[in-house]
Structure 1
Amino acid sequence: MGKPIILFSKSNYEGQEILLVNFSHNSNLHGYLKKFDGIEWSKSLKSFYLPFSRPTTNALFQYLRKENYYIDYSSLTAKDSSNHNIGKDKKVHVGNQIAESVKHSIDLLKKWMEQKRYSENTIRTYEGMLLIFFRFHFPKTETEITEKDILKFNIDYILANRYSYTYQNQAINAIKLFYRQQGKMHLLPENLERPKKSKKLPAILSLEEIKSILENTTNLKHKTLLSLLYSCGLRIGEALKLKTKDIDCERKFMHVKSAKGSKDRYVPVSRQMIGLLNKYIISYKPKDYVFEGQNGGKYSAVSARQILQRSIRLSGIEKSITLHTLRHSHATHLLENGTDIRYIQELLGHNNPKTTMIYTHVSTASLDKIKNPFDDFEI
């Protein structure tokens, strides 16, 4: 009997947001979980649970992966899904069982993806999607799946749960890659198309709002990180992977390595940013990565998000903002200052110019020059 799959989900219990940890009965796993700090067993819920937070969830995930347990955290990442309360109607869920041959095939795909240098996040996401897909169709194995089964999963699980465009697209990508590697592309239905993406424009911060956020970030390390994200338009993953040797203070350039799509690029660093980086490096003396945790190694993205949210609260800004908003704002401000869109594409590391063109829709530089006929009315 193989190891059970563990289901992570959020719920509200006795007025508190909790992380539920469910799995089919397994005494070894039961004993292993009891050793995790802060976790409790509830007889009424018939589940392990603990207070929900991203750091705690990540820590428990890593704790379980050390023993090679599979974790389904799809309900935590599906943007359109909402928390459910104990005792209320739940959405469509799948069981915990999966065929052993399927596990083996997924492991082979993971090894192939690692050799092809897929990002850790992509590998983890695809693994999770495939586990859900095959659990949905248990006891069928990968060789017994038909074209109708794939369509059924799309309709009766993804669409029935009203999961987001991103979630649906990732599931389709994972299934297609799996069967492409199996040499069974004929299984994929012709009408299994990617959903139409909603054309939402990114939130943009004004220069005054950027200044306010940085002024309310008093810690030198935190200020340097947020400043770098904005001034160089970096993704958070790129900033956290940046090493001290990647920054050329003399030439005022940084080498961003293995960015999205496994691409490298050179990014100019402003004189002001070089000064702040030098001040920070002299003070903190990082050994390898520019931003390191208390015990060495890369700084945590979770901690970076917490820094930004704290500074946003202190600034009194009510927009829905993420770390990526700093990158969006950098690109928009460059465009408004007259920078050619082709240079912005290169600076951001976009493959497709269409991705960069979104900033022409959020820039106010040209819109401000339009004369509104209402201005000629005398009211």
Structure 2
Amino acid sequence: MRPNPLRNRPRRTTAQLRPFLFEPAQVERLLSLAASLPEAHRTHRRGAAYRISFVLMYTLGLRVGEVARLCHGDIDWERRCLIIRQTKFAKTRLVPFGPHLEAQLRRYLDAGQDNGSAVTTDPVISLSRDHRQPLSSHSISRVFQQLLAHLDLTIPPGVAAPRLHCLRHSFAVGTLLRWYRSGVDPNARLSWLSTFLGHIDPNSTAVYLTITDALLDEANTRFERFAAPTSREVHQP
């Protein structure tokens, strides 16, 4: 029997609350609110900066610190991937992205190049007019919490209040759900997801894979397809 991809070694916890998982429509609303943020004192393209920060976390599962530290030299346009350097566990990894995210990144960067071309060490996300000062992780988290109040989210029983890291959780669970729906064996791909997220082993990734009703429905459907031939044989006269 193959191991359950959601199984993990017992962890000492102080609470049993599950992380909040964002639905696509809720993320769209979050991005819309971020894009409409007004300029503040000594900021430049504030809405666009926060919007692309949330996009990177939700679509690629990046940590907020990885987003804040991303530089122009970390974008490999030819191979269409991000180079996430010396992040948690002192690891560097490549994170591929698709054409839709490429288009969003190019629009964001092209619109900000009003003071000449950027150099490789310039931050991707910046509020300064010279594009030299990176946007901090604290600022991204603070604005996220401010926008939450306008999303009117319903928090189910047993679920913790949403926080910025929930975008990363949502990416991981959404990936697993897409695998189920496309017929991919999650057991065979869990190590891929672990590498993508920058974990040292799949046990760390399992913490992110919250069991949801949608995942249970897909798992049950797959089992019913698997068991159907046996069931017909048992019930044949």
Structures share a fold, TM > 0.5? Answer: yes
Q: Which residue of 2 is the match for residue 292 of structure 1?
A: 126
Give the 3 Å change call, closer, same or farther, for CA 197–255 of structure 1 in structure 2.
same
Map of 2:190 onto structure 1: 341
1:305 to 141, 148, 164: 141
TM-superposition CA deviations, 1:49-89 (whole Å, max 9, x none): xxxxxxxxxxxxxxxxxxxxxxxxxxxxxxxxxxxxxxxxx
1: CA distance, partners of 2:71 / 2:32? 26
- Over 3 Å counting, the alpha-carbon distance change for 1:205 and 1:229 in structure 2 is same
One-letter amino acid of the counterpart of residue 258, structure 1: Q
Alignment pair present for 1:332 and 2:173: yes
The answer as to 2:204 corresponding to 1:355 is yes
What is the CA–CA distance in structure 2 between the aligned matches of 1:303 and 1:318, rounded to whole Å?
A: 25
- Please say if 1:209 is aligned against 2:58: no
Change (3 A) 1:367 1:330: same
Structure 1, unaligned runs of 5 or more: 1-194, 372-379
Aligned residues: 177
Aligned-partner SS, 1:204: coil
Please, which runs of 5 or more residues in structure 2 have no aligned partner? 1-10, 36-46, 156-160, 180-185, 222-237
Contact 1:214 1:311 in 2 (8 A): no
Structure ranking higher on relative contact order (CA contacts 8 Å, 6+ apart)? 2
For residues 212 and 199 of structure 2, the distance between their equivalents in structure 1, rounded to whole angstroms, comes to 18
User: Is 1:260 aligned to 2:88, yes or no?
Assistant: yes
Tell me the secondary structure at the aligned position of residue 94 of structure 2. Answer: strand
- Who is 1:197 aligned against? 13
Report what 1:270 is aligned to.
98
Q: Is the 8 A contact 2:19 2:162 kept in 1?
A: no
Percent of aligned pairs with the same residue?
Answer: 25
1:337 alignment partner AA: R
Distance 1:241 1:251 in 2: 20
Contact 1:253 1:268 in 2 (8 A): yes
* Residue deviations 1:192-250 (CA, integer Å, cap 9, x gap): xxx93345432211222112211222222221111011111100111111111111123
Give the CA deviation at 1:293. 4.0
* C-alpha deviation, 1:270, in angstroms: 2.1
Q: Distance in 2 between matches of 1:266 and 1:216?
A: 30
Root mean square deviation of aligned Cα: 2.3
